[in-house]
Structure 1
Amino acid sequence: MRTNVKLLSLIALSCSVLFSCQTGKRDTKAPEDKVYMYIGTINPKTRGAIPVIKVPGGSVGLFPSFTPGFTDMYVADKIYGFPIGNGSLMIGTGDTKKGIRANASTYDHDLETATPYYYQVLLEDPGVNAEFTVTANTIVFRFDIPKDQRYDLLLNMPKNASFALKDSSTIAGSSTGRNNAQNFYTLQLSRPCQSFDQTADGWSIGFPASPNGETLEVKVGISPENADRATDFIAQEIGTMTFDQVKQKAKKAWNEELSLIKVKGGTEKQQELFYTTLHRTRALRMGNVWDTYRSAYPLQSLIKPEDTNKAIREFIRKYEETGWLPSSGAMIGHHSTAVIADAYMRGVRDYDVEKAYEGMKKNALQATMIPWRDSGYVTELEQCYFDKGFYPALPVKKGALVPAAVTNDINEKMPYQVRWMPETGVKEWVKEVDSWHRRQSVSVTLEHCYDDWCLAQMAKELGKEDDYTLFMKRAHNYRNLFKPSIGLMAPKSADGEWIEPFDPKYSGGFAGEAYFAEGNSWVYTWHVQHDVQGLINLMGGKEKFVRKLDELFSTSHRMDKLTFLGQFPDMTGLMGMYCQGNEPVFHIPYLYNYAGQPWKTQKKVRQIMDLWFDTDPHGISGDEDGGAMSSWYVFSAMGLYPQCPGRPIFDIGSPVFDEVSINVGNGKTFVIEAKNVSAQNKYIQSATLNGKPFDQTWINHSDIVKGGKLVFEMGPRPNKQWGSSPEAAAPSMSAPENE
């Protein structure tokens, strides 16, 4: 039997890479070699994170399609194909069966290589070693075919697809996917095919057997415009390059992208986590701005502002096309406003600012706030927000039977299903609100008043004083839902009455969605990013604020954990009621900075990084979505965080590396040095900025992009004098009240 030397060498290399990864001894010299592609692919909540192989900024991205129905892809037993546009490509040998499922293949992670720019796996059933790499708009596949085996490329496409054989080695066609997204394709084969047949699932491209085996390369160009453009992409982006040359070019692109931030020191795992999370947040499409406005976009605006400009220009294009700026997808808030305002305030302004403002204002005044609903109308719910300053909850009918789980007297014997859906006794009358589109009244109020603050900042910058006055008034709306008797946010009905009974841990039904978005009152009370000092004032001063913040991290759900997560499946990564697995909490650990106790921020962010991130399939504690959670780790590991997008500053946490060098463009670098830093030495003792004493818990974006050096002296115990004075806290909308 002939031995496929190339295949065995690839397998050996794959095993070596994986083994060294598992033992923590792999070569980590280049940033792209530190990336673990399968992070978070086993998820404690819904589906795991999905890896993607693409070049930075590229339009084409893919990863194998694993067994359908496996939400935790790492443990899936088979590969069903390799996605291309709206369909997928697979290979079969011998008497290839018809249908996608029939040609799925078993595989072994120990015989696999996955990097940001290249993928290789042994498809065990057909005995084919499969590889691919990418350019911005193309994919190059390479398949090693065993000897004496005829084989078929299986092009699995939607039923609306159309493909034709242009010549024996060129195929062109198109297909339409979800949201009417159309793609045009050109496939160029390195060998002429023997047959081209349509099947129930797409097309089968047949090749004859070779007595010595052979290697087939397939170049795929993809364009949303037309097939000629897809062909042009192959010529322009691949040309005469070999597979390995394309691969090396993609590797170089990722090395340049990830080297925008260079780290020294820390543990090997911390470096791998840093570059893994940096890769994810730079590789994923930031489509749903509900989560990515928080830290993914501010990170992009810092290291790749041209990409933020491009994204905002696309927002504006959609506004001109549809009449609405993108909202928050399947969530709440009009957070394209936050993205634009944050970019503008950071000096990222290469777009039509007046047109952007026009769309932001229209969203704020004319679009529905009902979660998951498309923009375009105003109901009585929005009118209540406009007139009374809060989004109303469905009232509770007096005398209605409410399950004990929403009272302070928890009956542990009550079936958990009863806890999920507390009855209000009142039928919903707003037709746009249903079991899928809940009111989420407290969260809607808080997220929209933050957006209003962002819009007010833009209005002020653009000299629109009347708009500034209006939206600044609305930016205070969070105060209307603060309930002094519990010291937390709570829902009100349209008549201004508090909803009773109300429990800040359990009320709201499944996912808390009667009043909250994927959480409870303990989570959303802190969603006043623009006015932390105002929240401190409401709570009665800094000491009471800190006690309440401490209580967040120590409050137990007092029931079986699975029962609690059955009602609140998004509250994963729990530390008390704090849930690192969901984006609305990201800024909360940094709030101690505003109350004169920054050492608690330093301790908490270190603890969260250690507990809830890892370089394995379990390494992300909740929904990753568009790279939002990864961006939290990137910032926090550097010792910074954009607590309030729209205010061009970064809050200071606790860096984990000896040195971080950030390429801020124009030939300038900003360096963060942490002397004596270690797992124990997590507390800031003192700091200097460009050689001058630095005693505040925040830094201006402008100071960073000018280039310079921020130096921290780190130690094992808190220096409670550093950053604790009232003047050291970052700005807020409100001024401190007498305490």
Structure 2
Amino acid sequence: MSLRFPVLAALLPCVALLSVSSGFEPADYVNPFIGASTSTAKAGVLHGLGKTFPGATTPFGMVQVNPNTITGGDNGPGYSYEMEHIEGFAFTQMSGIGWYGDLGNFLVTPTTGELQVVAGRHGEVARGYRSRYDKQSEVAEAGYYAATLTDYDVRVEATAAPRAGMLRLTYPEHQQSRVQIDLAHRTGGTSTHQSVRVVGDNAIEGAIRCTPDGGGWGNGDGHADYTVYYRAEFSKPLANFGVWKATIPAGQSRRREAIESAAYDKLIAAAEILDKPEAIEGDHLGFFTEFATDEGEQVLVKVGISYASVDGARANLAAEIPGWDFDQQRQAARGLWNDALSRVAIAGGSDDQRTIFYTALYHTMIDPRAIVDVDGGYPGGDGKRHTAHGFTKRTIFSGWDVFRSQFPLQSIINPSVVTDTINSLIELADDTGRDYLERWEMLNAYSGCMLGNPAVVVIADAYAKGLRDFDLERAYELCRDSVERDGNGQRGHAGGISHTLEFAYTEWCLSQLADALGHDADARLYAERAQSYRNLFDPRVGWFRPRGGNGDFQPWPAKGRLQQDYGSVESNPYQQGWFVPHDLDGLVGLLGGRAAALADLESFFDNTPSDFRWNDYYNHANEPVHHVPFLFNVLGKPWLTQRWTRTICDQAYHNSVEGLVGNEDVGQMSAWYVLASCGMHPITPGTTRYEVTSPAWGEARLRVGDDKFFTVTAHNQSPENLYIQSAKLDGKPLGRCWIDYPEIMSGATLELELGPEPNEAWGTR
């Protein structure tokens, strides 16, 4: 494989680690349908479930070949399992995002019969090109997806390379078969300008422009502004082809609510059909090629994608899918996943548990995706093509989510992903002249989504762990500018609980970085500001309260700290109030001491529903509480960390479409499971400490270097044996309930003896 696909090494080094459990490959246990639902009805809450996609992709790859089941709506991954139609197969997609989505570009649909130019959501306008599909024969695997479009009797199979994708279309006998490509399609909106040029007798090239005027990320509010360049080649010559071109009136809205309407469909249904144009551009274009097919005839379509140039797309396709052997490409994609997933090997557990684990690990390796072409080109934040120089440009940084588990996981098994992302964020700030670090970046957009300064956390955490392959002083300047721009400042709070507590933590992270880099005055200043969380604590109610514009506490609601959105973002004060990871002793003091804090924390979990769906207590469906089960380690009852993390792993994650209790959030939900099930997880990124807990596996091995592995062995591991009885690190007794990052990366072995009852003497020293 390395000879045939030499460019892949730039994205992911080849790993030859065998699984602890012999007789299977990690890719065998990937079920991309886990979390593949956006249904609020299934979730029972507006935020929905996992919002992952089941289509074909590669580890941290640029291309995702994915079925799209609906245009518009809160359908970020383009697909939701319960929907009955497939509109087509896009070659770019986002995964696990909780806002109105984006990408979904270059939508390919095989059809037969009369040409349709709208998807068909509004039957009164047109039947549309979408099709029902056979759920019984739908297949999703690592690097492969297949479904049969029953309205056309066409079997569609998809696979991917890092920068290119491939479809194999098996047609019925028909005199008017077709491949059509909706160049305007975009998840959560529409692209705003497209071009297409016919090249030779079997290829097209062009560009798809996507701006906030066309909706997309956050329905335009996320400022997504990017261009997808493509080259597509067809195994069947372009003998009878055409373009549909719709006229979009001046002033016509093209955001989500507009393009979902029947009135907009009427505009597109009136498109002009152009016969065999060699080159064309417009505001709403589609391309099609027609041909007769025999029963079972296969037509292949392969597409190279670039965000930098048509030349890049052409080079990507030529380098990564030079031939027409679909099965070979499918095996190549599977091989990439086996290499990537072999970074963690587990022994023990049931088939379902192993499927949950390897699918979780798979989901942590979709983003932050690499967007560098084989020729080194990538899009800069200044709108120009850049050339790679010392790092891999990455995108899709869901900062508020992923600083908690996803980046602490990658810092162990893929540390270059962490430093690549930091370099990408630094370069973006320099390119745009904004001089601060974006908290939620998507294809160079400063979306401003969510809160806090998560990039500061990621940088401080990387520095503490010795991951320093970036400009340290420039990173520090941007961290400082970010905290000065958005922080608690001289006022001493940010009004709301979530904002104040999150800012206080990032101010502490900055103080740690300042101290390490010798900025003593800044270290003192930001250490003081890190105590700002105290300014929202009201001893009269014994908890945190938001303050109004005049500085007074806002009225205490009838539900008290259980009131959702009371000064809290996607949470309530009870949930957000536990987020003081940098000063747990100070938090305990405010709560009346260790005994009182423990009693409250135990009640927090005891009132949590057993399915861990969205609730007012320990709400695993959302990020603010993801560190909370590990607080028992610090408060002196580590056996409760062991009990609750094993319970969460068992009851909040399932091998099913509804197997994630909340949004996947770009790898965060799954990274929590990977770390916790392997027996460790941080409370405070920015330090090197990982809390030790009870593993879900008899053994887990994490690759931490070219020839080193960190091993966690759990003797007597079983569903009943939840509790750590004793521990050894490299054969020596370990009495503490945490392990240090340097110990992990040294290739140490952590041995744990488990039993059915707590050993209250272990881990409390």
Q: Same fold (TM over 0.5)?
A: yes
Shift of 1:525: 1.1
Aligned-partner residue type, residue 359 of structure 2 = T
Tell me the residue number matched to 2:585.
533
Deviation at 1:498, TM superposition (A): 2.9
Q: Equivalents in 1 of 2:24, 2:156: separation in Å?
A: 27
2:180 aligns with 154
Are residues 641 and 684 of structure 1, via their aligned partners in 2, closer, same or farther at CA, if it must alter by over 3 Å? Answer: same
1:231-246 alignment to 2 at 5 Å? 231-240=314-323, 242-246=325-329
Specify the code of the residue in structure 2 equivalent to 1:100.
Answer: A
Aligned residues of 1:70 and 1:76 also touching (Cα < 8 A): no
SS of the aligned residue for 1:665 comes to coil
Residues 433-468 of structure 1: CA distance to partner in whole angstroms, max 9, x if unpaired? xxxxxxxx1111000000001111111111110110
Q: 1:623 to 1:208 in 2, by over 3 A?
A: closer
Equivalent in the alignment of 2:25: 30
Q: Matches of 1:128 and 1:601 in 2, distance apart? A: 51
Alignment of 1:555-594 (within 5 A): 555=607, 573-574=613-614, 577-594=617-634
Classify the secondary structure of the residue corresponding to 2:704.
strand
Choose from 163, 169, 172 the match for 2:196: 163
Q: 1:221 aligns with which of 304, 317, 324?
A: 304
Partner of 1:309: 419
Amino acid at match of 2:494: Y
State the match for 1:500 in structure 2.
555
Which position in structure 1 is the counterpart of 2:171? 145
Comparing 201-210 with 678-687, greater Cα deviation is found at 201-210
TM superposition score normalised by structure 2: 0.78
CA contact (8 A) 1:196 1:203 kept: no
1:57 maps onto 2:83 in alignment: no
Instruction: Tell me, yes or no, if the aligned pair for 2:419 and 2:470 is still in contact at 8 Å.
Output: yes
Aligned-residue CA RMSD (Å):
2.1
Conserved 8 A contact 1:67-1:77: no
Deviation track 1:74-109 (CA, whole Å, cap 9, x = no partner) reads 100010001135331111013333322211111122
SS in 1 for 2:438: coil
Deviations 1:50-73 (Å, cap 9, x if unpaired)?
225311121112320013458581
Distance 1:204 1:494, change over 3 A: closer
- Work out the number of aligned pairs and report it: 620
Deviation at 1:576, TM superposition (A): 6.0
Distance 1:211 1:202 in 2: 29
Is the alpha carbon distance of 1:38 and 1:61 closer, same or farther for their aligned partners in structure 2, counting shifts above 3 Å? Answer: same
User: Within 2, Cα distance between the matches of 1:495 and 1:164?
Assistant: 61
Q: Does 1:79 align with 2:86?
A: yes
**Contact 1:96 1:151 (C-alpha < 8 Å) held by counterparts:** no
Once residues 23 and 628 of structure 2 are traced to their aligned partners in structure 1, the CA distance between those partners, rounded to angstroms, is: 33
1:470 aligns with 2:525: yes
| Equivalent-residue separation in structure 1 for 2:438 and 2:328 (angstroms) | 39
2:337 to 254, 272, 278: 254
Hey, what does 1:40 align to over in structure 2? 35
Q: Answer yes or no: is the 8 Å Cα contact 1:152–1:204 preserved in 2.
A: no
Q: Output the amino acid matched with 1:390.
A: H
Work out the CA distance in 1 between the residues paired with 2:695 and 2:662. Answer: 23
Q: Which residue of 2 aligns with 1:670?
A: 710
- Deviation per residue, 1:341-368 (Å, 9 max, x gap): 1111111111111111111000111x24
How far apart are residue 701 of structure 1 and its match?
0.3
Q: Is the deviation greater in 492-501 or in 58-67? A: 492-501
Task: Give me the whole-angstrom Cα distance separating, in 2, the residues matched to 1:98 and 1:668.
Answer: 55
Secondary structure, aligned partner of 1:64:
strand
Larger radius of gyration: 1
Query: Which moves more between the two structures, 78-87 or 579-588?
Result: 78-87
Aligned residue identity for 2:475 = A
Q: Is the 8 A contact 1:592 1:601 kept in 2?
A: yes
Q: How does 1:625-644 map to 2 (within 5 A)?
A: 625-644=665-684
Distance 1:556 1:60 in 2: 39
Indicate if the aligned counterparts of 1:533 and 1:594 stay in contact, CA closer than 8 A: no
Q: Which residue matches 2:228?
A: 183
Q: CA deviation at 1:284?
A: 3.5
Q: 1:243 to 1:555 in 2, by over 3 A?
A: closer
Name 2:512's counterpart in structure 1: 457
Does residue 345 in structure 1 map to residue 484 in structure 2?
Answer: no
Query: What SS class does the counterpart of residue 274 from structure 1 fall into?
Result: helix
In structure 2, what is the Cα distance between the partners aligned to 1:280 and 1:294? 16
Residue 123 of structure 1, aligned match among 145, 149, 152: 149
Kindly tell me: are residues 501 and 487 of structure 1, through their superposed partners in 2, closer, same or farther at Cα, counting changes over 3 Å? closer
Deviation at residue 632 of structure 1 after TM alignment: 0.7
Is 2:700 the partner of 1:597?
no
* 8 Å Cα contact 1:146/1:213 also seen in 2: yes
* Equivalence map 1:335-484=2 (5 Å): 335-365=454-484, 367-368=485-486, 385-392=488-495, 441-484=496-539
Q: After TM superposition, give the deviation of residue 28 of structure 1 in Å.
A: 8.0
Alignment partner of 1:272 out of 348, 355, 370: 355
Helix, strand or coil for the counterpart of 2:571? coil
* CA distance, structure 2, for counterparts of residue 147 and residue 360 of structure 1: 62
- Structure 2's unaligned 5+ residue stretches are 1-21, 93-104, 121-127, 185-191, 212-223, 245-270, 272-283, 369-395, 441-447
1:211, CA displacement in angstroms?
A: 4.1
Paired amino acid for 2:90: P
Separation in structure 1 between the aligned mates of residue 664 and residue 327 of structure 2, nearest angstrom: 32
Structure 1 CA distance for aligned equivalents of residues 757 and 612 of structure 2: 30
Give the equivalent residue in structure 2 for 1:197: 242
Q: Is the 8 A contact 2:639 2:724 kept in 1?
A: yes
Q: Secondary structure at the match of 2:431?
A: helix
Q: Counterpart of 2:64 in 1: which secondary structure?
A: coil
Q: Describe the SS at the equivalent of 2:761.
A: coil
User: Relative to 1, partners in 2 of residues 1:524 and 1:70: Cα closer, same or farther, differing over 3 Å?
Assistant: closer
Distance 2:596 2:707 in 1: 46
Distance 1:174 1:47 in 2: 33
SS at match of 2:87: strand
Q: Structure 1 residues 169-178 or 207-216, which shifts more?
A: 207-216
Instruction: Supply the distance in 2 between the matched residues of 1:148 and 1:63 (Cα, whole angstroms).
Output: 26
Matched, 1:88 2:107: yes
Deviations 1:537-580 (Å, cap 9, x if unpaired)?
222221111001012224589xxx9xxxxxxxxx9725761111
Is 2:453–2:503's contact at 8 Å kept on the other side of the alignment? yes
Structure 1: which amino acid aligns with 2:470?
Y
- The residue that corresponds to 1:331 in the other structure is 450
Cα 1:107–1:542 change in 2 (3 A) is: same
Map residues 93-104 of structure 1 onto 2, 5 A cutoff: 93-101=112-120, 102-104=128-130
SS at match of 1:73: coil
Amino acid at match of 2:194: A
Q: Which runs of 5+ in 1 are unaligned?
A: 1-26, 370-384, 393-440, 562-570, 726-739
Equivalent-residue separation in structure 1 for 2:588 and 2:639 (angstroms):
18
CA distance in 1, matches of 2:600, 2:65: 45
Task: Name the CA distance, whole Å, in 2 between partners of 1:316 and 1:537.
Answer: 38
Tell me if 1:292 matches 2:402: yes
The more displaced of 65-74 and 153-162 is 65-74
| Distance in structure 1 (CA, Å) of the matches to 2:149 and 2:743 | 52
> Which range moved further: 83-92 or 247-256?
83-92
